[in-house]
């Protein structure tokens, strides 16, 4: 499809907090092709939810324009809403209704016939593992169970575009895996466009076709995870030495060979980010041996999206509260 299913130009939101302007989103430009799966990454307060809330018509933009499924988010809000599903970051109905009835009400709200709604509810109950809970009252579900219901609600009317704001936060690993199975399946079978935010970097890395990195209200990178990692980050080499003196001797040797800044992690450990780590490591080891500062521990790690963020901003997403696996300790040589 040539016309993008989501497009935004200069989309901006400025809030007034304590009588001072706070720009949450500063000129978002975006084109999304139908069927794409996009992940928004960025630290707390980057502007991810605000962007999504503007695209879903929940917040009026301060300036700029956006169209979703062919409709203007400012002037055709009802049309946009019919075409999309939205699962907000803090959703979770606290209702007195039972799970199955909640789904049927959602179907009715979107004008689905009773029979189609029942069939759809059963499908979602099955695929989001809600069968044991279908007759329970929503109020009494656990946080993760409610989250699964929220997602089922967003999917009831088979929207063309699905916006999910941190869908997997608070889910146990099994439920996260089920949820992703469902999202991927939905795309395969219905070609649904999925626009989501996550703090789980490995989810964006593994499942999204396109990753948008946001910081301070602006998109600072927009590409596939693989290209972002290979172009903006590099292989991370960690070298351990027997003494601080050896480590000190090694710093200029490593710096000269790699042309990169060498980080001193502690008295006897150095870290450097390089291109083509596997080819470089044996060369480095030889040169360090020759300089009488042989490394006794060595680790080579492929870059993560956290390294991408670090190289773009000088800050780590992990420090900003994002969940990433810890990198491996250097192993003995
Ligand atoms: N209703 C509001 N009134 C005032 N400021 C707001 C409002 N909503 C968001 N903000 C501010 O806008 C900025 C962006 O917030 P937003 O919720 O979009 O961030 P986010 O990227 O979704 O963060 P998180 O990862 O924590 O969900 C923050 O500085 C936030 O404090
Ligand atoms: Mg948010």
The domains of the chain are located at 6-229, 235-302
Any atom of ligand 1 within 6 Å of the Cβ of 46? yes
Q: Which atom of ligand 1 is nearest to the CA of 52?
A: 18
84 forms beta bridges with 161
Confidence of residue 326 (pLDDT cuts 50, 70, 90): very low
Mean predicted lDDT score pLDDT of the chain: 89
Q: How far separated are the first and last CA of the chain, in Å rounded?
A: 52
Over residues 21-36, the pLDDT tens digits come to 999 999 999 999 999 9
Residue minimizing CA distance to atom 18 of ligand 1: 47
Reply yes or no on whether the pLDDT at 81 is more than 60: yes
Indicate if 235-302 has the same CATH topology as 6-229: no
Average pLDDT, stretch 157-170?
A: 90
Supply the pLDDT for residue 7. 97
Supply the pLDDT for residue 323. 40
**Phi–psi pair at 106, nearest 5 degrees:** -60, -45
Nearest-5° angle of CA 234, CA 238, CA 241? 155
Reply yes or no on whether the pLDDT at 106 is more than 90: no
Residue 233: which of 245, 242, 221, 243 has the closest Cα?
221
Any atom of ligand 1 within 6 Å of the Cβ of 60? no
Longest Cα–Cα distance in the chain:
78
Confidence of residue 220 (pLDDT cuts 50, 70, 90): very high
Over residues 221-260, the pLDDT tens digits come to 999 999 999 888 889 999 999 999 999 999 999 999 999 8
Q: Which atom of ligand 1 is nearest to the CA of 49?
A: 22
Edge to edge, what strands does the sheet with 71-72 contain?
20-32, 6-17, 63-68, 71-72
Q: How many CB atoms lie within 10 A of CB 276?
A: 9
Residue 322: HSE in the Cβ half-sphere, 13 Å Cα cutoff = 29
Nearest-5° angle of CA 195, CA 216, CA 264? 105
Name the superfamily (CATH) of residues 6-229. Answer: P-loop containing nucleotide triphosphate hydrolases (3.40.50.300)
The answer to whether 8 touches 30, Cβ cutoff 8 Å, is yes
Q: How many CB atoms lie within 10 A of CB 259?
A: 9
Supply the pLDDT for residue 91. 57
48 CA to middle of ligand 2, Å?
5
Query: Comparing 92-106, 125-139, 237-251, which segment has the lowest mean pLDDT?
Result: 92-106
DSSP 8-state class, residue 43:
-
Reply yes or no on whether the pLDDT at 324 is more than 50: no
Supply the pLDDT for residue 206. 92
Average pLDDT, stretch 174-183?
A: 83
Residue minimizing CA distance to atom 6 of ligand 1: 15
51 CA to middle of ligand 1, Å?
9
Confidence of residue 183 (pLDDT cuts 50, 70, 90): confident
Instruction: Out of 12, 14, 15, 28, give the residue to mutate to test ligand 1, the one with the largest number of ligand atoms within 8 Å of its CB.
Output: 15
Supply the pLDDT for residue 56. 93
Supply the pLDDT for residue 178. 80
Which percentage of the chain shows pLDDT scores above 70?
93
Residue minimizing CA distance to atom 7 of ligand 1: 15
Average pLDDT, stretch 308-323?
A: 75
72 CA to middle of ligand 2, Å?
23
Please list the alpha-helical segments (H only) found in 110-243: 114-127, 143-155, 173-190, 201-207, 225-232
Supply the pLDDT for residue 110. 85
The answer to whether 167 touches 147, Cβ cutoff 8 Å, is yes
Any atom of ligand 1 within 6 Å of the Cβ of 17? yes
Q: How many CB atoms lie within 10 A of CB 255?
A: 14
Average pLDDT, stretch 194-213?
A: 93
164 CA to middle of ligand 2, Å?
10
* Burial category of 261 from C-beta neighbours within 10 Å (exposed 0-12, middle 13-18, buried 19 and up): exposed
131 CA to middle of ligand 2, Å?
29
Average pLDDT, stretch 209-218?
A: 95
117 CA to middle of ligand 1, Å?
35
The pTM of the full predicted model, rounded to 2 decimals, is 0.83
For residue 49, the surrounding DSSP H or E stretch is helix 48-55
Give the CATH number of domain 235-302.
Answer: 3.30.70.100
Any atom of ligand 1 within 6 Å of the Cβ of 240? no
């Amino acid at each position: 499809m040539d016309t993008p299913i989501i497009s935004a130009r200069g989309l901006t939101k400025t809030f007034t907090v304590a009588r001072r302007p706070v720009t949450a989103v500063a000129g978002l430009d975006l084109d999304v092709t139908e069927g794409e799966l996009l992940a928004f990454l960025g630290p707390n307060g980057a502007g991810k939810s605000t962007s999504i809330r503007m695209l879903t018509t929940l917040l009026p933009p301060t300036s700029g324009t956006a169209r979703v499924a062919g409709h203007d988010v400012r002037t055709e809000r009802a049309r946009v809403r019919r075409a999309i599903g939205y699962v907000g970051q803090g959703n979770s109905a606290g209702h007195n209704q039972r799970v199955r009835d909640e789904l049927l009400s959602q179907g009715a709200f979107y004008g689905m016939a009773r029979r189609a709604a029942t069939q759809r509810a059963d499908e979602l109950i099955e695929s989001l593992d809600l069968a044991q809970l279908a007759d329970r009252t929503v109020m009494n579900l656990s946080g993760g169970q409610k989250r699964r219901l929220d997602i089922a609600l967003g999917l009831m009317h088979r929207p063309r575009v699905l916006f999910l704001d941190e869908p997997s936060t608070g889910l146990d690993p099994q439920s996260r895996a089920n949820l992703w199975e469902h999202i991927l399946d939905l795309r395969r079978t219905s070609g649904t466009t999925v626009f989501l935010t996550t703090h789980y970097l490995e989810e964006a890395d593994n499942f999204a076709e396109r990753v948008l990195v946001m910081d301070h209200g602006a998109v600072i990178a927009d590409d596939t995870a693989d290209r972002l990692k290979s172009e903006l980050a590099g292989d991370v080499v960690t070298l351990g030495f027997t003494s601080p003196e050896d480590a000190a001797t090694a710093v200029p040797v490593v710096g000269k060979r790699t042309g990169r800044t060498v980080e001193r992690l502690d008295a006897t450990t150095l870290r450097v980010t390089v291109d083509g780590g596997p080819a470089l490591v044996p060369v480095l080891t030889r040169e360090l041996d020759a300089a009488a500062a042989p490394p006794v521990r060595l680790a080579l790690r492929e870059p993560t999206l956290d390294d991408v963020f670090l190289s773009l901003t000088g800050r780590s997403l992990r420090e900003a509260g994002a969940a990433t696996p810890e990198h491996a300790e250097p192993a003995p040589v």
